[in-house]
Structure 1
Amino acid sequence: MIYSTKIRIASALCCATMAAALTGCAVSGTPVAAEPDVRGLETGTYATDRHSYDDTAGSEGALVEGTRMSAAVVPAVRIDPSLSYGRGGTVVPDVERALDFVANVSKPVLENRKFVTGYAALGSDKADPDGQKRPASDATAVTTAVFRFPDAASATLAARELEDVDLAVSPDNRKLASTKYPEAYVHWRPNVPTIGAFLAHKEFVISLFIQRPRADAADLTSWVDKTLGAALTQLGTFTPTPFDKLEDLPIDPERLLARAVVKDRAGLDPDQHSFAVYSPAHLVNNADDQAARQRLVDSTGAEHIALVDGGSITRVRDFAAAQALMNGLIDTAGHYDTLPAPADIPGAKCLQLNNEGDAEQEYKYRCYVPYKRYLGIVSSDQEPDVRQKISAQFALLANSL
């Protein structure tokens, strides 16, 4: 896996720990019919008034565009239904992070061709062995990374040069050809059941690394063709931000981050784990069961996911869909037992980590609340805190809509 549980969206759509029990206070707001008066809820010191983050990305333009690119990269399960186990999805905001997906000798190429940003999605047909971060030798695993460059000419050169330096890593590497995508650069090492490929498409380079249970050149090449087909189809649905406009990207274009409870609204900067907006594909990439998660995303009409420190907001089709998403996520929550939710928060549900869970890697408490087209999730390692947070989340949604 590329993430620990606490920064995997699959586990709860939540990120880093936020503890400390807080004292209650009244909050402003106008009560809505059939809803509690949110002014009387125990929300601690969490802000619950309508808010907006109006800043643009500035120097973090590459990161914000990288989160947008979660919509540009196909989840593994949509390449082949057998690839149902998510191994993660991540922004690739700089050259150093890109080297996690290509050979280290690729660094000069990425620098010379002015690498901008990217996103990578990983999947397999089975879970990694316990305690391991690599697939089992008998697994089929696919890593699809899409790298952004300033223009098509730079991407075309980058694809060729990335192939050249990758080939030179070992004298045993050999070129292969794709009849379906003859412009793709493909190579493997005979008797090793892996294959790599690069394909330039407009200002992007699609980078693939595929593992199969056996070393068969024809079989591996067929998987390259299948993956490139799915990757190009998905990439074709994405509209990149013009290179000279990255600094002007709004950090919260859908006002989703502003609807999520945070400890302190001041000084929040884009962060891929704790202050970012993603497409629903990011939720699929980080699910242990990508097939089930993709069905849940499709059936609820999930549109965008905003991650904040310790929580998230997801916008879906309607209130029934928000309830369905909540129940679907709870059903796959893992080592958690039910915990009574605050009685004055309509529809809220809470969970508590049980003895089979890992308190070092997973939050001890988690609560969910659906509100109109939104599902809010909060997490904490302190029960009083999580109860205040879910109350504050309900109040913030009520005051924001």
Structure 2
Amino acid sequence: MSRSAVRGAAAMLLVGALAGCSSTVTGLAVKAPESSDSDGASVALMDTGAYETAASHPYGTAGADRAGQAVLESQRLADFTVGPWQVDDAIRFRSGVLDTAITGVMPDAATIARAKALADPVVDVVGAHGLVAGFSTLRVTGRGADQARGLQNMVLRFPDPGAAAAAASEMAAKDPGPVGALPPYPVPIIGHPEALATGYDLADRTHILHSYTARGPYVLVQLAQAADKMLGMKPDVLVQGVLNLQTSLIDQFAPTPLDKLADLPLDPTGQLLAHTLQAPDKKAPSNIGAWKPTGWLHFEDDPVTAATLFTTSGVDAIGQRLATVFQTRNADSAARMADELSATLRASDGIRALPEEVRGLPRARCFERVKDGLPDTAAVSWQRILWHFKCVASADRYSFTTFSAAKEDAVQQISAQYRILAGK
């Protein structure tokens, strides 16, 4: 299966769960329509196309959907998975759109295999020991870095510590290593004697390390690599840095009891997903859901700068369906965040601000990627990253973005999302 398919499959797990639930949770309180809009918005002038302009119903729980349960528990793990940039802030860039699937929820062995997040023999071990949930994150250094480095970190939850210990041992033993690598060798990780780490060298003198560590019901996985460089970063130092943070962080995670997974809420906020724009055909990126800021950073273009922006704006939740909605501290924070997002896009290479104003929404800003934008035939998860057109706006305490392969569609989305959040 292609990587576009895996992202679509992962999205369908949660989309199906959302569509099949009911709830009595109360909705989001919205502002009543004003006779004179303070933000200059005019609903009468907006073009919203075929998009809904009112919130959908709030969502309930996972229920008996086992696949949905695993996705939701995997989303919870995202907040407790160390990002590569937290160990080395130069390792903050995506490795390419083809690797999109490696960052995200890993609810089962089949998803891990399709995403190519682990080698096939290792995936078989994961499945055999009853994976409950998982999350994976991958980043690399940017172009022109003085030393190329990459790091993938993954947290996998198993039914109990015994299953995790057995899985970690077998995963390390059956890891085939990178294709074309020289003979493997054991590598001790300072401060973490329990880590089962193996080093590999490539002909181009790239150094690679694969590490598996059992900790309670979890297996902590790191795949690190670094180009050979005198006095440069070594893969074992990257793994050591991750484990220093990851072991204590995962100890803070409260795993959902296996007999309570059905009670996991599809939207932990109770209302944000219902107020996040969806497509008429229900298409959405695979990271659909309601996220906390820490977990959402794994999907940001630059998680380092995004973390600062989230803090200054008071972002406490992110809704992702077709649009992305950031719930901030208040209306002023939302407006400032939208301005910051627009300024970042305006300053980015290969992106230009469109001169046309969005009809009825003068404070919205739209942008065009002048090269490498993906067509509408590409997987929607890929389009979210290499979008052709993108718009940014705010309403009340929310800032939000939309994307599309067509300018008119991106404008319709931003207008519809405004109306949903403003209650107009």
Say yes or no: TM over 0.5.
yes
Indicate which of 269, 286, 290 corresponds to 1:273: 286
Indicate which of 65, 80, 90 corresponds to 2:73: 65
- Determine whether 1:178 maps to 2:192: no
Superimposed CA distance per residue, residues 26-69 of structure 1 (whole angstroms, 9 cap, x where no aligned partner): xxx94136525757754344322343232422231112222222
Q: Is the 8 A contact 1:113 1:154 kept in 2?
A: yes
Q: Is the 8 A contact 2:293 2:316 kept in 1?
A: yes
Superimposed CA distance per residue, residues 312-361 of structure 1 (whole angstroms, 9 cap, x where no aligned partner): 1111222233223323332333423234333533632222x253342435
Cα 1:288–1:364 change in 2 (3 A) is: closer
Cα 1:237–1:350 change in 2 (3 A) is: farther
Determine the C-alpha separation between the residues in 2 that align with 1:107 and 1:357. 33
Q: Tell me which residue corresponds to 1:97.
A: 111
Superimposed CA distance per residue, residues 213-233 of structure 1 (whole angstroms, 9 cap, x where no aligned partner): 229999433322111112224
Determine the C-alpha separation between the residues in 1 that align with 2:46 and 2:235. 58
Q: Tell me which residue corresponds to 1:245.
A: 260
Matched positions, count: 365
Q: Is the 8 A contact 2:206 2:225 kept in 1?
A: no
Q: Tell me which residue corresponds to 1:132.
A: none
Cα 1:47–1:225 change in 2 (3 A) is: same
Q: CA deviation at 1:71?
A: 1.0
Letter in 2 for 1:208: Q
Determine the C-alpha separation between the residues in 2 that align with 1:105 and 1:283. 30
Q: CA deviation at 1:154?
A: 1.4
Q: Is the 8 A contact 1:200 1:206 kept in 2?
A: yes
Cα 1:263–1:290 change in 2 (3 A) is: closer
Indicate which of 194, 207, 215 corresponds to 1:193: 207
Q: Tell me which residue corresponds to 1:210.
A: 224
Superimposed CA distance per residue, residues 245-303 of structure 1 (whole angstroms, 9 cap, x where no aligned partner): 223322122122111122349xx69x762632233345433444332222222322322
Cα 1:384–1:174 change in 2 (3 A) is: closer
Q: Tell me which residue corresponds to 1:337.
A: 353
Q: CA deviation at 1:109?
A: 1.5
Cα 1:393–1:200 change in 2 (3 A) is: same
- Determine whether 1:142 maps to 2:157: no
Indicate which of 159, 167, 170 corresponds to 2:168: 159
Indicate which of 124, 133, 137 corresponds to 1:117: 133
Letter in 2 for 1:32: E
Q: 195-204 vs 363-372, which deviates more? A: 363-372
Determine the C-alpha separation between the residues in 2 that align with 1:54 and 1:148. 26
Q: Is the 8 A contact 1:67 1:272 kept in 2?
A: no
Q: CA deviation at 1:91?
A: 1.5
Superimposed CA distance per residue, residues 150-191 of structure 1 (whole angstroms, 9 cap, x where no aligned partner): 222211221112112127999932222234011121111367
CA RMSD, 1 decimal: 3.4
Q: Report the 3-state secondary structure (helix = DSSP H, G, I; strand = E; otherwise coil) of the residue aligned with 1:332.
A: helix
Letter in 1 for 2:363: G
Q: CA deviation at 1:207?
A: 0.2
Q: Is the 8 A contact 2:206 2:226 kept in 1?
A: no
Superimposed CA distance per residue, residues 100-123 of structure 1 (whole angstroms, 9 cap, x where no aligned partner): 233321233212210122111112
Determine the C-alpha separation between the residues in 2 that align with 1:82 and 1:365. 28
Determine the C-alpha separation between the residues in 2 that align with 1:305 and 1:218. 34
Q: 54-63 vs 40-49, which deviates more? A: 40-49
Cα 1:98–1:341 change in 2 (3 A) is: same
Q: Is the 8 A contact 1:257 1:306 kept in 2?
A: yes
Determine the C-alpha separation between the residues in 2 that align with 1:233 and 1:339. 49
Letter in 2 for 1:344: G
Cα 1:92–1:104 change in 2 (3 A) is: same
TM-score between the two structures when normalised by the length of structure 1: 0.78
- Determine whether 1:305 maps to 2:318: yes
Q: Tell me which residue corresponds to 1:356.
A: 371
Paired-residue identity, %: 23
Cα 1:33–1:183 change in 2 (3 A) is: farther
Q: Is the 8 A contact 1:144 1:206 kept in 2?
A: yes
- Determine whether 1:385 maps to 2:385: no
Q: Is the 8 A contact 2:61 2:263 kept in 1?
A: yes
Q: 184-193 vs 253-262, which deviates more? A: 184-193
Q: CA deviation at 1:96?
A: 2.7
Q: Report the 3-state secondary structure (helix = DSSP H, G, I; strand = E; otherwise coil) of the residue aligned with 2:53.
A: coil
Indicate which of 3, 28, 33 corresponds to 1:31: 33
Q: Is the 8 A contact 1:74 1:231 kept in 2?
A: yes
Instruction: Structure 1: give runs of 5+ residues left out of the alignment.
Output: 8-28, 130-135
Determine the C-alpha separation between the residues in 2 that align with 1:232 and 1:246. 24
Cα 1:344–1:65 change in 2 (3 A) is: same
TM-score between the two structures when normalised by the length of structure 2: 0.75
Q: Report the 3-state secondary structure (helix = DSSP H, G, I; strand = E; otherwise coil) of the residue aligned with 1:193.
A: strand
Cα 1:175–1:218 change in 2 (3 A) is: farther
Q: Report the 3-state secondary structure (helix = DSSP H, G, I; strand = E; otherwise coil) of the residue aligned with 2:155.
A: strand
Q: Tell me which residue corresponds to 2:235.
A: 220
Q: Report the 3-state secondary structure (helix = DSSP H, G, I; strand = E; otherwise coil) of the residue aligned with 2:420.
A: helix
Q: Tell me which residue corresponds to 1:285.
A: 298
Determine the C-alpha separation between the residues in 1 that align with 2:108 and 2:70. 8
Q: Report the 3-state secondary structure (helix = DSSP H, G, I; strand = E; otherwise coil) of the residue aligned with 2:423.
A: helix
